[in-house]
């Protein structure tokens, strides 16, 4: 197991009960928008309207559908627009997706306008991780240093694969390195020091 990390959720961090990740698609550099506690962490995406009364069908990026349904407010963003908060009036599991009725969406046309939108919650709303665990989103911005003491850059984003997450490290020249977030390459994650120590040569 990696120091200061654990099995992770899509776009966020660990599942509360430590279940593994099922994410397979790439996560863009911005899991979040804003700074500090105002940052929004993407936990899902709207697939389509459902029925005629404003319900939406959503895909959860969390390892458990219950994790997404537990939040009483969702923030939605479509087409690179700003985030808008909606109260969740009802939510239930439907096969491998989530059906939800959001306050203000009462017609199929209302729900259809949000097709493809990201679903997020504020970083401050996420459960506090255990002492030996860390949210993936909190790795963004950390300095990456190798065993020779060379600074390789900062974590600009993360990519998810079926097996593990990958750090996208960008240096001052905007060169990018992709470093798997596994113990074979990551020696330690030092949140207090704001850095990640890796076994990765500068010329890789």
Whole-prediction pTM value?
A: 0.67
Tell me what percent of the residues of the chain surpass a pLDDT of 90. 63
Given a cut of 90, whether residue 25 has pLDDT beyond it is no
CA–CA gap between residue 177 and residue 168 (Å, rounded): 6
Q: Is 58 within 8 Å of 119 (Cβ atoms)?
A: yes
pLDDT the model gives residue 14: 37
Given a cut of 60, whether residue 50 has pLDDT beyond it is yes
pLDDT classification of 137: cutoffs 50, 70, 90: confident
Please count the CA atoms within 13 angstroms of the CA of 3 that sit on its side-chain side: 12
Residue spans per domain, the chain: 36-125
Picking from 23, 4, 104, the residue whose alpha carbon sits closest to that of residue 62 is: 23
Which CATH number fits the domain 36-125, given the four candidates 2.40.30.60, 2.40.110.10, 3.90.1150.10, 1.20.950.20? 2.40.30.60
pLDDT tens digits for range 140-199: 999 999 999 999 999 999 887 767 889 999 999 999 999 999 999 999 999 999 999 999
Given a cut of 60, whether residue 32 has pLDDT beyond it is no
Q: At 176, which helix (H) or strand (E)?
A: strand 176-180
pLDDT the model gives residue 4: 39
CA–CA gap between residue 183 and residue 1 (Å, rounded): 7
Given a cut of 60, whether residue 100 has pLDDT beyond it is yes
pLDDT the model gives residue 128: 85
Token pair, residue 181, equals 């977030």
Token pair, residue 107, equals 């017609």
Please count the CA atoms within 13 angstroms of the CA of 14 that sit on its side-chain side: 17
Calculate the average pLDDT of the chain.
Answer: 82
Cα–chain center distance at 194: 19
Please count the CA atoms within 13 angstroms of the CA of 123 that sit on its side-chain side: 20
Burial bucket for residue 65 (CB in 10 Å: 0-12, 13-18, 19+): buried
Q: Average pLDDT for residues 49-56, to the nearest whole number?
A: 97
Q: Average pLDDT for residues 83-103, to the nearest whole number?
A: 97
pLDDT the model gives residue 187: 96
pLDDT classification of 49: cutoffs 50, 70, 90: very high
**188 in helix, strand or coil?**
strand
């Amino acid at each position: 197991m990696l120091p200061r990390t654990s099995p992770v959720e899509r776009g966020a961090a660990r599942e509360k009960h430590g279940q593994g990740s099922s994410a397979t698609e790439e996560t863009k550099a911005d899991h979040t928008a804003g700074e500090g506690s105002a940052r929004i962490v993407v936990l899902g995406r709207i697939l389509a309207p459902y029925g005629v009364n404003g319900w939406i069908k959503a895909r959860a990026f969390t390892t458990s559908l219950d994790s997404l349904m537990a939040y009483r407010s969702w923030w939605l963003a479509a087409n690179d627009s700003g985030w808008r908060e909606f109260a969740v009036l009802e939510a239930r599991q439907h096969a491998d997706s989530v059906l939800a009725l959001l306050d203000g969406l009462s017609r199929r046309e209302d729900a259809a306008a949000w097709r493809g939108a990201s679903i997020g919650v504020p970083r401050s709303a996420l459960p506090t991780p255990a002492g030996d665990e860390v949210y993936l989103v909190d790795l963004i911005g950390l300095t990456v240093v190798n065993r020779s003491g060379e600074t390789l850059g900062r974590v600009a984003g993360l990519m998810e694969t079926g097996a593990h997450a990958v750090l996208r490290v960008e240096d001052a020249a905007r060169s990018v390195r992709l470093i798997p977030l596994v113990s074979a390459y990551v020696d330690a994650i030092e949140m207090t020091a704001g850095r990640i120590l890796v076994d990765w040569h500068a010329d890789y």
